[in-house]
Amino acid sequence: MPSNDIFPIVNIEGIGEASSGSTPPDVNGDIGRDFYVEIVNATFFRVFDKSGTPVSGLISANSIWNQVQQSSAGDPILLYDQAVDRWFLTEFPSNNRVLVAISHTSDPRGSWDAYAFQTPRFPDFPKYGIWGDAYYLTTNEGGNSFPIYAINREDILAGVETARIQRLTVPKIGGISFEVGQPVDWDGLVPPPEGSPGIVVKLNDDDWGTTFTDEIVFHKINIDWNDSNNSNIEQISIPTAPFDTDGCQQENTGGFSCIPQPNGQGIDGAQWIICNKANYRNFGTHEAFVMAFMVDVTGEDVAGIRWIEFRKTSTEDWHIFQEGTVGSDDGIHRFMPSIALDGQGSIGLGYAVSGPDKHPSLRYTGRYSGDPEGIMTFTEYEFASGSGSQGFDRFGDYFSMSVDPADESTFWFAGEYLPSDNTWATRIVAFAASRDTIDVFPLSLLSPVNDATLGSQNVSFSVFNRGLTTVFDFPVGYQFNNGEWITEIADIDSLPVDEELDFTFNTPFDILAAGTYPLRIATFLDNDGNKRNDTLTFMVTKFGLRDVALEYVVEGDAAVVCSEDAVISLRVKNTGLDTVKQFTYSLYLSGTPVDTLSWTGLLAFGEETTADFSARINDGENQFTVSVDTVNYVYSDEVPANNQPTWLLTANPEGQQVFLNFTTDNFPEETTWELLDDENNVIASDGPFAEQQTTSTSQFCLDPEACYTFIVYDAFGDGMSAQGVKGDYEIYNEFGVLIADLPKPNFGSQSTNQFCLTAQCLFALQVGVEHESTPGAGDAIAMAETNNSLGEVTYSIDNGLNFQSSSSFLNLTPGVYTMLAKDGAGCQDTTSFEILSCNLQALITTEPAIGGDVGEIHVTASGGIGPVSYSIQDGVFVQDSFFVMLEPGEYIVTVKDSAGCTTTDTVTVSTMVSTSSITADYFIQISPNPGKGVFQVNARFDNEQVFLPYSLFSASGAPLFDGTIVMYDEWYKGEISLRNYPAGIYYITFRSGRDLAVSRLIKVD
């Protein structure tokens, strides 16, 4: 068996935090025929050739999404569709949609087609898989159902204007708070057999309380693109060797914390889920796919990785062919895996490692197809070593392993690690299970090392023979700072297979000035079978003794100030070895020197501080530059390139300074905000955030005569009130007067608030009613909603004699009312509404069943308001008043008008229980109603908005939660869950334009 020391072919830095800024990076990518493409949050991708050389700059996904008037918000996934040699790109925007794009050609730097698909709730954590008939998608949308989407692959590849999509659901397993599935993703040129259902897999841990054995749940998705009513999901469960998905040792530091770091802060370990991706291949003799997930490997919450290979043959359905676990009791946690099969059946597995004494780093392992089953036989290789920890929980959220379609044997992996404290980076690595006859490559740089004394340097590096043949004398070389290559012959007796050689060049190079320089080392064997690993690039730094680095710190969210004077902050870092006690620097405006400034203090090597100063600026746009003149009174700065930042400031002396204090809740990564002007242009934005329960202050220079809109988005759809911890915001003018705040924390997916800097009341009131349920019941209800309020809102329906804080008025009798609402700023609005009396009557006759045959019920209604609907046996309400084909027996007949008035009778001589509200402007059907906790909503309103917001209230009118339902075709569809609430009466309001519709829900035990 070949040696199991598998070294990288390519090992390069990917996109880093400085280029993206979003946390976590959600790094992933894929390898195509000609390129590797890496993508990170929110959202940029870069194209590399197969030697690891970038062949593009950072490409913003927004350059693609502008086709569908959407913008990036995160969780990108990028896949290579091998059968058509094109790229599939996805993510979500900041609303209830998923974004999908397909490249026109094999070059991802070219043009794309883009699509936006609506979802009922926010599609958090979307995962995709390519299959023969569809691109399959799973999301984490909350509620009690698990959604699976099928996007028609033929339509996407053809570029049709409106691609078909179907949404199917099954009940959730339950027992955990984060339950998602992983679509199986097809690789290779041999497709799944014709008609094979798509596959989504999920975990079911016996500790979750729904199964007695640990198992993998298969969802086989059968899609009928001609009739969606025929589409269905078949579920099967396959038991596994026992596992425990809770391998978290550091859960006490908030949020998703799980895996320990040296600083004591836990980071996300992606527990409970099958990690991206589940990789499938059709080998002809059998089908197979692999998957991996985090487990506890010691019973003491040390994280490791369970991996499984499933197979299917012509005689046996899907079954476990082999499974194994990677991890040990060495104190190192292994987590966030990604796994793939190559064309020979060998497996590559990449993952993160961390621990109390180990900074987050990256490793890989693997196995040959013929190795003993259940064992990863490749020596674990660490290809990206971390040197820092982070002070918050979010990490990952996922990585990706892929296989080069050109050779079907080279694995490509991208993941996140921490090169320094609170700074993430990504690394791209390629390695192969197969070997070339001759394959000699540089393994590591031995010298020079970063230092302040670098001058004339000899290069030493190690060379490794990974081929199948012993090699003898061979050429090697190095290139310093992009200069000429220096080549020499490694004059050795022999370099046997799987052995390493240390070589030192005779020709040195000189580093005269402080700075960071590229150094490449290489081997040059003409008959080397794998030239992609023949060159390694390193950055060599000669530290200066006196080196001050400056960086401009942006104040506020827009570089606009409301005066002719600006306070400017510079971040100062000592990157030289001498302690900085003083330095002088010059300020330039549009290239003209305007001031010389000085800083004094004590700043040791690597330490940071800030330098603040005031500057006079001109009305309009100003370009500033600073540069360091001297360090420690008399010395020149040795690296000028890092201390000459340039920035723009715009002065608007007629503007007014406005301040935003924004406080996050327990899930800051779900929260973003935007500030819009009166033409709906976004002038400032922020988020997602990283720190829980933290207040940040932003400032803006705004037009004092204009009005603005402030919008807060919550990605999960539960507002800023999860776990009882409420977020908030307050907006003040420059005089300290409150001009806007968050109306209510549990706002659902979006909260919109308009405000003006001058004293204008934009406060608005809407009222919806549910009329009497039966004649004389006196149980009508009026519910109010307000927009653009400030402070507490109170309500009255007796001309202001009595006010209440509740927006609900219960047990009203028929009549005309006027509701008055006023906010804390004294703004008020009124709306009149009418409670209709219930005068509905019904004449019910029957046609008897003769001789055991079927009978009929006929209903004639009078006195009702608007259209009338009918139901028997607590079934669906319909417009037809004739019920036929009825078996003999007693029937409950219910008649309901559009005002909600009902009358019920039992006659002697059929379907799901529901309630309907029907007017000329809308139709709402809720079923089952009464129900035991989960209610399906079908509604139709006279508008074209995609999302229909709703709010749910208790019987006393207390607000419970908000959400939205989504339009499919011409109907709004959604699900309301009251499983966590007691039996009783509830009210739901739907907002559509000027309509505020109210319906009653009844939960029974």
Q: Would you state the structure tokens that stand for residue 393, as one six-digit string?
A: 């929980």
Tell me the pLDDT band of 109, cut-offs 50, 70 and 90.
Answer: very high
Q: Give me the CATH code for the 656-756 domain, please.
A: 2.60.60
Q: Span 969-990, mean pLDDT?
A: 82
Residue 374 has pLDDT above 80, yes or no: yes
* Structural domain 548-651, CATH architecture: Sandwich (2.60)
Distances in Å between the alpha carbon of 468 and those of 370, 461, 838? 18, 22, 91
Share of residues in the chain with pLDDT > 90 (%): 49
Residue 976 has pLDDT above 90, yes or no: no
The pLDDT value recorded for residue 885 is 66
For CATH 2.130.10.10, the residue range(s) in the chain are 10-432
Residue 143 has pLDDT above 70, yes or no: yes
Residue 619 has pLDDT above 90, yes or no: no
Q: Span 442-466, mean pLDDT?
A: 84
DSSP 141: -
Strand partners, 386: none
Residue 712 has pLDDT above 90, yes or no: yes
Residue 630 has pLDDT above 80, yes or no: yes
Q: For residue 728, how far is the Cα from the chain centroid? A: 22
Token look-up 């570089």 returns: 559
Residue 960 has pLDDT above 70, yes or no: yes
Q: What angle do CA 399, 385, 55 make, to 5 degrees?
A: 60
Annotation: CATH topology of 764-835: Immunoglobulin-like (2.60.40)
The Cβ of residue 61 has, within 10 Å, a number of other Cβ atoms equal to: 24
The pLDDT value recorded for residue 911 is 29
Q: Is the pTM of this model over 0.75?
A: no
The pLDDT value recorded for residue 117 is 93
Residue 558 has pLDDT above 60, yes or no: no
Residue 137 has pLDDT above 90, yes or no: yes
Q: Span 537-550, mean pLDDT?
A: 86
Q: Would you state the structure tokens that stand for residue 325, as one six-digit string?
A: 């676990």
CA nearest to 543, candidates 581, 511, 584, 580: 511
Tell me the pLDDT band of 2, cut-offs 50, 70 and 90.
Answer: very low
DSSP 451: B
The pLDDT value recorded for residue 760 is 72
Look at 127 and 871; give whichever has higher pLDDT. 127
Tell me the pLDDT band of 348, cut-offs 50, 70 and 90.
Answer: very high
Residue 273 has pLDDT above 60, yes or no: yes
Residue 375 has pLDDT above 80, yes or no: yes
For CATH 2.60.40.10, the residue range(s) in the chain are 440-542, 548-651
Characterize 919-933 residue by residue with b for buried, 16 or more Cβ atoms within 10 angstroms of its Cβ, and e for exposed.
Answer: beebbbbbbbbebeb
Strand ranges of the sheet holding 580-589, from the earlier edge strand across to the other edge? 560-561, 646-651, 620-631, 580-589, 592-603
Q: Span 436-447, mean pLDDT?
A: 89
Q: How far apart are CA 717 and CA 714, in angstroms?
A: 5
Give the length of the chain: 1005
Query: 713 with 672: CB under 8 angstroms?
Result: yes
pLDDT in tens, 673-700: 999 998 888 888 888 887 888 999 998 9
pLDDT in tens, 455-512: 788 899 999 998 889 999 999 999 999 999 999 999 888 999 889 999 999 999 888 7
Tell me the pLDDT band of 557, cut-offs 50, 70 and 90.
Answer: very low
Q: How far apart are CA 322 and CA 326, in angstroms?
A: 13
**Average per-residue pLDDT for the chain:** 88
Q: Would you state the structure tokens that stand for residue 352, as one six-digit string?
A: 């993160």
Residue 913 has pLDDT above 50, yes or no: no
The pLDDT value recorded for residue 159 is 95
The pLDDT value recorded for residue 25 is 94
Q: What angle do CA 955, 959, 963 make, to 5 degrees?
A: 115
Q: Which CATH number fits domain 440-542: 3.90.180.10, 2.60.40.10, 1.10.10.10, 3.40.50.720?
A: 2.60.40.10
Annotation: CATH topology of 841-1003: Immunoglobulin-like (2.60.40)
Share of residues in the chain with pLDDT > 70 (%): 95
Q: Span 19-48, mean pLDDT?
A: 92
Q: Would you state the structure tokens that stand for residue 348, as one six-digit string?
A: 């590559």
CA nearest to 267, candidates 126, 417, 140: 417
Q: Which CATH number fits domain 10-432: 2.70.98.40, 2.130.10.10, 1.10.10.60, 3.30.420.40?
A: 2.130.10.10
pLDDT in tens, 168-182: 999 999 888 889 999
Residue 915 has pLDDT above 50, yes or no: no
Tell me the pLDDT band of 917, cut-offs 50, 70 and 90.
Answer: low
DSSP 62: H
Strand partners, 455: none
Q: Span 601-610, mean pLDDT?
A: 91
The Cβ of residue 36 has, within 10 Å, a number of other Cβ atoms equal to: 27
Tell me the pLDDT band of 556, cut-offs 50, 70 and 90.
Answer: very low
Residue 37 has pLDDT above 60, yes or no: yes
Specify which of 64-68, 260-264, 545-549 reaches the highest per-range mean pLDDT.
260-264
The pLDDT value recorded for residue 970 is 67
Residue 799 has pLDDT above 50, yes or no: yes
For CATH 2.60.60, the residue range(s) in the chain are 656-756
Distances in Å between the alpha carbon of 583 and those of 353, 549, 681? 42, 11, 42
Residue 866 has pLDDT above 60, yes or no: yes
Query: 552 with 587: CB under 8 angstroms?
Result: no
Q: Span 77-94, mean pLDDT?
A: 95
The pLDDT value recorded for residue 136 is 98
Phi-psi region of 443 (alpha: psi -120 to 50; beta: other; left: phi over 0): alpha
DSSP 601: E
Strand partners, 60: 44
